[in-house]
């Protein structure tokens, strides 16, 4: 009995241990706190895209391209006066033409056969499109509905549709202006100037067969067409610097001397002629007329075309 009693405490202890498993292992301690909130990272904003495209410029308006209907110049060797690099002149000790004489001037003219030049009895059609303006002191005669005889001074003659052709008689020969042609014709002190303002192709024709050009036939004939922006100079005297480059406010470049120094071709700035010519100024004063506005508009367009196509370098005004 005593041995049983000794065993009882041990059994009780064993039962207690079996009924309390937490005693066999360490109790887990949980510390409760505020909930952990995980904040997502802020979205990555890409840098703004910079537009590197340049802003649009002003609209580009293409200039009209003149009709290419000029035949290449035929240079007749017998027409070109040799030895023109320098010559004696009463107004100059030695006048050097090296920097003036240029074959580029011959681009402005083209030799034509005599048969292609109109005669007075061939002219016909309406005359309403023929307009003449002149400077003070100019003298000319209308010898027919289509024909003007130049005595002295300066005229601007314009031919527009429905008119076909007008003819100007001068001491050196005749000048024909066909429809859509405008020309300045100046005759002073035995020197004739013909400036094509905007006539294209074969619109402006000159036939020189009087004075120093009388008897010119065959290869020596002097019948030309003149391109816009070019000037033909014919004189009874041998040409000098004063005649080639007058002090008229018009810029010129590229000269060529022909026919024993009695004939020259040069290129002039149409833009400067519109600003400096007295006869153009007279036309501008009549802007109330539809025909006058049309003439000035045609010349202004041609000036822009010539500046665009040929450039403005090399022009100079004689002071």
The range of the structural domain enclosing residue 102 comes to: 97-310
**Are 227 and 208 within 8 A, CB to CB?**
no
Q: Does residue 38 belong to any structural domain of this protein?
A: no
Please give the pLDDT value at position 67: 44
Cα angle 84, 272, 227; round to 5 = 60
What is the structure's pLDDT at 76?
A: 36
State how far the Cα of 155 lies from the Cα of 138, in Å rounded to an integer: 8
> Is residue 34 in a domain?
no
Residue 247: both structure tokens together = 């002090």
Q: Residue 319: name the closest of 287, 290, 276, 280 by CA.
A: 276
**pLDDT attached to residue 114:** 84
Domain membership flag for residue 85: no
Q: Is residue 2 part of a domain?
A: no
Would the pTM of this model clear 0.85, i.e. be above it? no
Report the alpha-carbon distance of residue 110 to residue 226 in Å, rounded: 7
pLDDT of residue 37: 56
User: Is 66 contained in some domain?
Assistant: no
- What pLDDT, in 10s, does the model give residues 17-36? 545 545 444 444 454 555 55
Beta pairing partners, 86: 96
The domain tally of the chain equals 1
CB 262 within 8 A of CB 235: yes
Question: Ramachandran region of residue 190, left (φ > 0), alpha (ψ -120 to 50) or beta?
Answer: left
Token reading at 52: 């590197």
Task: Indicate whether 147 belongs to any domain.
Answer: yes
On whether residue 148 sits in a domain, the answer given is: yes
- Residue 209 near residue 222, CB atoms below 8 Å: yes
pLDDT on residue 316: 93
Structure tokens belonging to residue 306: 């010539």
Other C-beta atoms closer than 10 Å to the C-beta of 184 total 22
Return per-residue pLDDT of the chain as tens, 319 residues.
555 555 556 555 655 554 554 544 444 445 455 555 556 666 666 666 665 665 655 555 444 444 434 333 333 333 333 333 333 333 333 345 545 568 889 999 998 888 889 999 999 999 999 999 999 999 999 999 999 999 999 999 999 999 999 999 999 999 999 999 999 999 999 999 999 999 988 999 999 999 998 876 554 557 889 999 999 999 999 999 899 999 999 999 999 998 889 999 999 999 999 999 999 998 888 767 788 889 999 999 999 999 999 999 999 999 8
Q: Is residue 30 part of a domain?
A: no
């Amino acid at each position: 009995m005593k041995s049983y009693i000794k065993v009882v405490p041990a059994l009780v202890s064993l039962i207690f241990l079996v009924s309390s498993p937490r005693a066999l292992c360490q109790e887990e301690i949980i510390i409760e706190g505020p909930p952990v909130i995980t904040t997502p990272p802020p979205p990555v904003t890409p840098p703004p895209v910079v537009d590197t495209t340049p802003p649009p410029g002003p609209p580009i308006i293409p200039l009209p391209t003149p009709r290419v209907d000029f035949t290449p110049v035929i240079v007749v060797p017998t027409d070109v006066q040799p030895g023109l690099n320098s010559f004696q002149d009463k107004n100059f000790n030695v006048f050097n033409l090296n920097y003036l004489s240029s074959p580029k001037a011959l681009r402005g003219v083209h030799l034509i056969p005599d048969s292609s030049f109109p005669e007075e009895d061939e002219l016909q059609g309406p005359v309403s499109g023929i307009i003449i303006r002149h400077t003070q002191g100019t003298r000319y005669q209308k010898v027919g509905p289509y024909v003007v005889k130049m005595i002295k001074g300066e005229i601007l003659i314009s031919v527009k549709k429905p008119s076909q052709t007008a003819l100007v008689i001068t001491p050196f020969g005749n000048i024909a202006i066909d429809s859509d042609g405008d020309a300045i014709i100046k005759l002073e002190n035995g020197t004739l100037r013909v400036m094509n303002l905007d006539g294209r192709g074969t619109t402006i024709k000159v036939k020189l067969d009087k004075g120093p050009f009388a008897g010119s036939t065959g290869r020596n004939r002097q019948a030309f067409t003149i391109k816009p922006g070019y000037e033909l100079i014919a004189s009874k005297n041998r040409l000098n610097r004063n005649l080639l480059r007058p002090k008229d406010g018009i810029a010129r470049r590229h000269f060529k001397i022909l026919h024993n120094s009695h004939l020259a071709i040069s290129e002039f700035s149409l833009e400067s002629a519109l600003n400096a010519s007295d006869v153009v100024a007279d036309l501008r004063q009549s802007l109330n007329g539809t025909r006058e506005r049309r003439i000035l508009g045609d010349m202004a367009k041609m000036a822009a075309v010539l500046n665009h196509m040929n450039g403005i370098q090399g022009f100079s005004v004689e002071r």
